[in-house]
């Protein structure tokens, strides 16, 4: 099983650049880049909440569960 982050897809749909989202969310550009590229090991609910607010989306739009089946 794996969780896949689709942040890049949602950002593209909203035509939002990483530096703009980082500013709106209030987190470091590098940390957001790591999250976007799947290098982050965890995400705080408060960060996820702020990302969803900035992108006007649901958590399920950003995070996808994929089974190993």
Q: Given this model, what pLDDT does residue 24 score?
A: 96
Q: pTM for this one? A: 0.89
- The CATH number of whichever domain residue 54 belongs to comes to 1.10.260.40
Domain that holds residue 50: 2-66
Query: Residue 66 forms beta bridges with which residues?
Result: 2
Dist CA 60 CA 69 (whole Å): 20
Looking at the structure of the chain, the number of domains it has is 1
pLDDT tens, 5-61?
A: 999 999 999 999 999 999 999 999 999 999 999 899 899 999 999 999 999 999 999
C-alpha dihedral sign at 32, 58, 43, 4:
negative
């Amino acid at each position: 099983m794996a969780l896949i982050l689709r942040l890049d897809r949602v950002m593209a749909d909203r035509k939002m650049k990483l530096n703009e989202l980082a500013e709106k969310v209030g987190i470091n550009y590098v940390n957001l880049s790591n999250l976007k590229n799947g290098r982050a090991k965890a995400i705080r609910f408060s960060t996820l909440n702020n990302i969803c607010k900035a992108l006007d989306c649901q958590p399920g739009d950003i995070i996808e569960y994929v089974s190993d089946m």
